[in-house]
Chain A
């Protein structure tokens, strides 16, 4: 039936992906972090963990701001994509 995984759900959304990355994470801080709240707070599963390494892909970002708010170590440099780029809701 319908997709249950976030990645597949995002595939039906319309994005105008900016070539400039709008969110960066500070890996030096993430390496030392034990909680990794970002992994669970991101509704678009943009954060992934491999061994002890956090990676972030901005393409599916829904621009909600959860990651920056939930990170208590200020490791997420959060900005919005440039005007006209990013998620473009048809319904909302």
Chain B
């Protein structure tokens, strides 16, 4: 049964599945290797996925893919210890085809996506770990897995944020904790009707609710609650370096968040189904590895293709788009019979044309800007304090809001500093 593959894709996440699907469909002999017992077994994310890229690949994918709810409402809350200020957005459009975003689970979604690649002709090898690269001189010539050597013309590393393969290919250095956010998440079971009642949803509608505030104790990051069919995904995402330097565990922040009076009522009576954790590369283009070498390409989280804009952390669409670009590159290489570094330089060309590198360039300064600790504690505090002053009726004569704001900021921050931070927003976001 030994054979030579046109392409071996390592990792059956969104990048790897999109990549193998496309190559197999074009007739390339494609092997998709996944170390989990099944695709998705090792993967987690916050839980909201925005659909346009996948919709191009599989029109109306939500009809067959295991989606939980479509996101009809977006809510943002600033939390202090004992207050909260929220804004909510909802649009009729979000409740209609093609929808905007969905909540879904990776363990189910990746399995569906990998099955798509399999149906297109890719060979899926689950429970198989790529231990090393196979070299032919300076050229990557396959992988070593399960005690065997598996030769191929191209290897596409879609092996996630910790990508051992791109490290072994010499494309990147050790990762820095400053460039990483750690996400910890709980999936909490609640009966369907209770979810709909508590979050004001009907049918398949869902909410994506993001939080920033005091519960991260000034550590850059935030929290989220997303609704699934019969469960909530709730988690915190915080910068790894600051977490460790301040001797704080992410789980303690999650507990603090869950116990916040504004949050706890939504979770009451829920039962824990799963506790998961993952790293997210957040430094964008600053931490991007070299994307290719002879016979080798990197896509998805492995290439740090994640967009951070403060409120949103988006990786899945970048993963899919980069997987597609890698596939297109390898298909072209197969046609011209050249898998050299020169031939594969087509890959960044494609990425530059797509939103992947364009968006990362646009938001190049965002990661640094978002390290500003004032965003996570001081500003939410001032906002909540101002709101409290506005809404409090203490029987005394009212003062102008402007004066109240000055009072809220007193001894905390100068207008000059706020102005400087605002000016940075313009550059970063």
| A–B: direct contact at CB < 8 Å | yes
Alpha-carbon gap, A80 to B105, bound state (A)? 22
The B92-109 residues at the A interface (CB cut-off 8 A) are: 105-108
Looking at the complex, which of B69-77, B174-182, B203-211, B356-364 is the stretch in contact with chain A? Answer: B174-182
The closest CB in chain A to the CB of B184 belongs to A43
Q: Is B270 an interface residue (CB 8 A)?
A: yes
**Which B residues are CB-close (under 8 A) to A37?**
177, 244-245
- State the Cβ distance, B49 to closest chain A Cβ, in Å: 12
Alpha-carbon gap, A87 to B245, bound state (A)? 27
Per the CB 8 Å criterion, the residue count for chain A at the interface is 38
B240 touches A88 (CB 8 A): no
- State the Cβ distance, A78 to closest chain B Cβ, in Å: 8
The SS class assigned to the A binding surface is loop
Known interface pairs A3-B272, A92-B106; A40-B45 also in contact (CB < 8 Å): no
Looking at the complex, which of B81-89, B246-254, B290-298, B381-389 is the stretch in contact with chain A? Answer: B246-254
The closest CB in chain B to the CB of A61 belongs to B277
Query: Which of B40, B108, B182, B275 has the most chain A CB within a 10 Å cutoff?
Result: B275
Question: Within the complex, which residue of B105, B231, B245, B251 is in contact with A6, where a contact is CB–CB below 8 Å?
Answer: B251
Alpha-carbon gap, A43 to B270, bound state (A)? 22
Alpha-carbon gap, A70 to B233, bound state (A)? 26
Alpha-carbon gap, A29 to B200, bound state (A)? 54
Interface string of B103-126 (1 = CB under 8 A from A): 001111010000000000000001
Known interface pairs A9-B186, A43-B184, A64-B279; A89-B44 also in contact (CB < 8 Å): yes
Alpha-carbon gap, A65 to B161, bound state (A)? 9
Query: Which of B108, B255, B276 has the most chain A CB within a 10 Å cutoff?
Result: B276
Known interface pairs A41-B182, A80-B129, A84-B127; A13-B274 also in contact (CB < 8 Å): yes
A88 touches B41 (CB 8 A): yes
Q: Is B241 an interface residue (CB 8 A)?
A: yes
A2 touches B270 (CB 8 A): yes
**Which B residues are CB-close (under 8 A) to A92?**
40-41, 43-45, 105-107, 110, 274, 276
B247 touches A40 (CB 8 A): yes
The closest CB in chain A to the CB of B126 belongs to A84
**Which A residues are CB-close (under 8 A) to B45?**
92
Alpha-carbon gap, A39 to B248, bound state (A)? 9
A66 touches B182 (CB 8 A): yes
Q: Is B128 an interface residue (CB 8 A)?
A: yes
What are the 9 A-B residue pairs with the smallest beta carbon separation, nearest first?
A84-B127, A92-B106, A43-B277, A37-B244, A83-B129, A9-B275, A65-B162, A92-B107, A92-B44
Q: What are 11 A-B interface contacts by the 8 Å CB criterion?
A: A3-B272, A9-B272, A10-B275, A41-B177, A62-B276, A80-B129, A84-B37, A89-B106, A91-B107, A91-B108, A92-B43
Chain B positions within 8 Å of A, measured between CB atoms, are 35-37, 40-45, 105-108, 110, 126-129, 145-146, 161-162, 164, 174-177, 180, 182, 184, 186-188, 231, 233, 240-241, 243-251, 255, 270-279
